[in-house]
Amino acid sequence: MGNKRMPKGKRKSPKRERDTRYRLIQALLRNGQIHSFDQVFDYVPITVVASDLHVKASTLHKYLADGASIKLRHILTISEFCELTDRELIRLVINFLQRKEAERKAKIEKTDALVERIKGMS
């Protein structure tokens, strides 16, 4: 009968254990040591999370740089990896987005002040 092979798209990859560093996030959050989504990556490398999400690390880097466009399904999956409730991780994401927005506004204000100063010199 020969060797039966599954079609490429139907192959099941062996289930691997999650990185143990994910478990740290729950303890750190509950001890008040993590307040923002980006802090998760201080303990679990972006490359590990990206691999587990089946996305490119550059996708996560982009999200952390501009604070936009992360998919809700990725947030919910990361909450599972970290053994957090969806609400807990969404709260971290909200804190992250609020901080990014505050930084953006501060940058705009600084630029506006500089423009005004330059106008005053003319």
Residue pointed to by tokens 């880097």 = 61
Domain ranges of the chain: 17-121
Q: Which two tokens stand for residue 64?
A: 């952390």
Q: Where on the phi/psi map is residue 14: left (φ > 0), alpha (ψ -120 to 50), or beta? A: beta
**What pTM value is reported for the model?**
0.77
pLDDT tens, N- to C-terminus, the chain (122 residues): 555 554 555 544 446 688 999 999 999 999 999 999 999 999 999 999 999 999 999 999 999 887 777 889 999 999 999 999 999 999 999 999 999 999 989 999 999 888 888 888 87
